[in-house]
Amino acid sequence: MTDRELLELAAKAAGLSAVFDLYGWNEIGDGAFWDDNEPPTPWNPLTDDGDALRLAVALRMRVHHDGSCAVVEIPTGQKYCWTEAAVQEDSDYGRATRRALVRAAAAIGEAMQ
């Protein structure tokens, strides 16, 4: 699944209406915009800690680390784990945690379809 697909499904799970083509996916690099705001607000929980935390809170997720794996548990008890090579190489637990949160949210969004 691409990052864009993950973000679309995560936004759906969180009840956000994300727009990706407002300024073009390539121009903003990687991410989305909420179209509920004027002007639209950038949103990317894959790269932004604040967006990731708000996503986790909105979906009542629990997060912990198990070795080099970021583990996210959603209220149904399902767990999602994401290991980034970077975690082992340079201790980038933030990136692994954000990705695990978005993957868990995307799974919720996918189940809503």
**Mean pLDDT confidence for 79-91:** 56
Contact of 82 with 39, CB cutoff 8 Å: no
**Over the range 30-64, which residues count as b (16 or more CB within 10 Å of their CB) and which as e?**
ebbbeeeeeeeeebbbbbeeebbbebbeebebeee
Mean of per-residue pLDDT scores for the chain = 76
- Whole-angstrom CA distances from 16 to 11, 27, 35 are 5, 21, 8
Identify the H or E element spanning 19: strand 18-19
Sign of torsion over alpha carbons 57, 113, 82, 25:
negative
Q: Count of CB atoms within 10 A of residue 91's CB?
A: 10
Tens of pLDDT along 50-83? 999 999 999 999 888 777 677 888 887 777 666 5
pLDDT of residue 56: 93
Whether the predicted model's global pTM rises above the 0.75 cut: yes
Q: Is the model more confident about 52 or about 24?
A: 52
- One-letter-per-residue 3-state SS of 28-61: HCCCEEECCCCCCEEECCCCCHHHHHHHHHHCCC
Residues constituting the chain: 113
pLDDT exceeding 70 applies to what percent of the chain?
66
